[in-house]
Protein backbone atom coordinates (compact mmCIF):
# COMPACT_ATOMS: atom_id res chain seq x y z
CA UNK A 1 0.00 0.00 0.00
CA UNK A 2 1.24 3.44 -0.89
CA UNK A 3 2.48 5.40 2.09
CA UNK A 4 0.48 8.59 2.57
CA UNK A 5 3.45 10.91 2.98
CA UNK A 6 3.89 14.19 1.17
CA UNK A 7 6.92 16.45 0.93
CA UNK A 8 6.19 20.06 1.86
CA UNK A 9 9.13 22.42 2.21
CA UNK A 10 11.69 19.87 3.42
CA UNK A 11 9.31 17.88 5.58
CA UNK A 12 7.72 14.55 4.83
CA UNK A 13 4.21 15.10 6.03
CA UNK A 14 1.72 12.32 6.75
CA UNK A 15 -1.51 13.17 4.96
CA UNK A 16 -3.62 12.15 7.94
CA UNK A 17 -2.16 15.01 9.98
CA UNK A 18 -3.52 17.65 7.63
CA UNK A 19 -6.57 19.55 8.79
CA UNK A 20 -6.94 21.78 5.77
CA UNK A 21 -5.03 23.30 2.85
CA UNK A 22 -5.42 26.92 1.85
CA UNK A 23 -7.02 27.65 -1.49
CA UNK A 24 -5.55 31.15 -1.72
CA UNK A 25 -2.02 32.40 -1.07
CA UNK A 26 -1.21 33.95 2.29
CA UNK A 27 -1.22 37.71 2.57
CA UNK A 28 -1.03 39.61 5.85
CA UNK A 29 0.69 42.83 4.74
CA UNK A 30 3.62 42.46 7.13
CA UNK A 31 6.85 43.51 5.49
CA UNK A 32 9.00 40.80 7.03
CA UNK A 33 6.46 38.03 6.51
CA UNK A 34 8.22 34.88 5.30
CA UNK A 35 5.04 33.17 4.16
CA UNK A 36 3.62 35.71 1.76
CA UNK A 37 2.40 34.14 -1.47
CA UNK A 38 2.65 30.67 0.01
CA UNK A 39 -0.20 28.31 0.79
CA UNK A 40 -0.89 27.39 4.36
CA UNK A 41 -1.11 23.72 5.22
CA UNK A 42 -2.80 23.47 8.56
CA UNK A 43 -1.83 20.64 10.88
CA UNK A 44 -3.15 19.42 14.18
CA UNK A 45 -2.16 21.25 17.37
CA UNK A 46 -2.14 24.72 15.81
CA UNK A 47 0.87 23.94 13.62
CA UNK A 48 1.20 25.10 10.05
CA UNK A 49 3.49 24.44 7.13
CA UNK A 50 3.82 26.67 4.09
CA UNK A 51 3.71 25.23 0.60
CA UNK A 52 4.38 26.84 -2.72
CA UNK A 53 1.71 26.65 -5.39
CA UNK A 54 3.08 23.51 -6.99
CA UNK A 55 3.33 21.72 -3.65
CA UNK A 56 -0.18 22.84 -2.76
CA UNK A 57 -1.63 21.53 -6.02
CA UNK A 58 0.15 18.18 -5.68
CA UNK A 59 -0.87 17.97 -2.05
CA UNK A 60 -4.55 18.50 -2.79
CA UNK A 61 -4.37 15.84 -5.50
CA UNK A 62 -2.65 13.46 -3.09
CA UNK A 63 -5.31 14.12 -0.46
CA UNK A 64 -8.11 13.54 -2.94
CA UNK A 65 -6.57 10.26 -4.05
CA UNK A 66 -5.92 9.19 -0.48
CA UNK A 67 -9.44 10.07 0.64
CA UNK A 68 -10.76 8.25 -2.42
CA UNK A 69 -8.75 5.17 -1.51
CA UNK A 70 -10.05 5.24 2.04
CA UNK A 71 -13.62 5.54 0.80
CA UNK A 72 -13.02 2.73 -1.65
CA UNK A 73 -12.06 0.25 1.07
CA UNK A 74 -15.57 -0.54 2.15
CA UNK A 75 -19.05 -0.54 0.71
CA UNK A 76 -20.61 2.90 0.69
CA UNK A 77 -24.32 3.21 1.05
CA UNK A 78 -25.12 6.48 -0.61
CA UNK A 79 -28.51 7.86 -1.46
CA UNK A 80 -27.55 9.44 -4.76
ZN1 LIG B 1 2.09 36.79 6.99
Q: Tell me the pLDDT tens digit for each residue of 41-73.
A: 999 888 999 999 999 999 999 888 887 766 655
Beta bridge partners of 51: 39
pLDDT at 1 over 60: no
Q: Which domain holds residue 49?
A: 5-26+34-68
* Domain assignment present for 22: yes
Count structural domains, the chain: 1
Is residue 79, in this structure, part of any structural domain at all? no
Whether 73 maps to a domain, the answer reads: no
Domain at 41, CATH number: 2.40.50
Q: How far is CA 57 from CA 24, 41, 42, 62, in A?
A: 11, 11, 15, 9
Nearest to 9 by CA among 32, 37, 45, 41: 41
Distance 1 CA to ligand 1 centre (A): 38
In a domain, 15, yes or no: yes
**Phi and psi at residue 44, in whole multiples of 5°?**
-65, 165
How far, in Å, from the CA of 31 to the mean position of ligand 1? 8
Asked if pLDDT for residue 6 goes beyond 80, the answer is: yes
Q: Looking at the domain assignment, is residue 75 inside a domain?
A: no
**12 alpha carbon to ligand 1 midpoint, in Å?**
23
The answer as to whether 19 is a domain residue is yes
Amino acid sequence: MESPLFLVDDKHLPLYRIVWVSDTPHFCGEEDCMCEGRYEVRLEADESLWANREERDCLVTALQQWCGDVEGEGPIEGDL
